[in-house]
Amino acid sequence: LNLILLGPPGAGKGTQAERILADFPQIAYISTGNMLRAHVADGTELGKEAKSYMDSGGLVPDELVTKMALDRLAQDDTRDGVLLDGFPRKVTQAEALAGSGRKLSGVLLIDVDDEEIVRRVSGRRVSKSGRVYHVDFDPPKHEGRCDVDGSVLIQRDDDKPEVVRERLAVYHRDTAPLIAYYEDQGLLARVDGTRPPTEVHDHIRATIA
């Protein structure tokens, strides 16, 4: 199973990824956002180059991201399939992915309107390990603490309102063209992402089956 999760920032891609991986434990999860944040945290050369783009809400240039993603796709644990979250994010990236020869099973578009996106992203809190919460929609058991490891939850710098507006503009300009791109290939399935997480997951499961 080789799936792409597509959708605006805050649509619930990471939230659904966790559930899809519980259904298909043999497939590898590749989140380019998580990978880039790990590079920034580790202070790697790539992280240093990527940081200013991420902070401003823009896309990290293809020459940095595409190699990182394709190298990850070439690793052993991707043999039984992958769940791609946040890649491709531009038609040029989709073409590079097609060139790698991996045959896609489908592309899930998690559809959420801009107004709801701003609500979700502004309430998002994350743990260092990448677990995602929402202050109203999915609060942790103990305020401000991760349920799994008790660490302090933080707000991502790029989840502040000014940056969110830029990320949405970038989504509509650069990423949304992928909808038609994959529709033309008969690969696109739309999921109403405004439903509660369990319903979104049920819909995704029905679509994959």
Q: Kindly list the catalytic residues.
A: 13, 89, 124, 156, 167
Contact call for residue 89 and ligand ADP (CB under 6 A)? yes
- Residue 25 is classified by DSSP as T
Give the separation between CA 91 and CA 177, rounded to whole angstroms. 7
Contact call for residue 203 and ligand ADP (CB under 6 A)? no
Give the separation between CA 46 and CA 72, rounded to whole angstroms. 14
Nearest approach in angstroms of CB 183 to ligand ADP is 20
Give the separation between CA 194 and CA 12, rounded to whole angstroms. 9
Binding segment toward ligand ADP, per CB under 6 A, in 97-105, 145-153, 182-190, 195-203: 195-203
Contact call for residue 132 and ligand ADP (CB under 6 A)? yes
Contact call for residue 34 and ligand ADP (CB under 6 A)? yes
Contact call for residue 134 and ligand ADP (CB under 6 A)? yes
Nearer to ligand ADP, 19 or 183 (CB): 19
Residue 183: name the closest of 108, 85, 101 by CA: 108
Give the separation between CA 154 and CA 165, rounded to whole angstroms. 20
Give the separation between CA 175 and CA 105, rounded to whole angstroms. 20
Nearest approach in angstroms of CB 9 to ligand ADP is 3
Q: List, in order, residues 6 or more apart from 169 with CB less than 8 Å away.
A: none
Contact call for residue 38 and ligand ADP (CB under 6 A)? yes
Nearer to ligand ADP, 22 or 209 (CB): 22
Binding test (CB under 6 A) with ligand ADP, winner from 2, 3, 27, 31: 31
Residue 87: name the closest of 76, 96, 77 by CA: 96
> Would you call the peptide bond into 9 cis, given omega within 30 degrees of 0 as the criterion?
no
Cβ-proximal residue to ligand ADP, closest one: 33
Contact call for residue 201 and ligand ADP (CB under 6 A)? no
Nearer to ligand ADP, 106 or 202 (CB): 202
Question: Sign of the C-alpha dihedral, residues 119, 17, 195, 4?
Answer: positive
Residues in touch with ligand ADP (CB under 6 A): 7, 9-15, 17-18, 21, 29-36, 38, 53-54, 57-60, 65, 72, 86-87, 89, 93, 120, 123-124, 129-130, 132-134, 137-138, 158, 167, 196-197, 200
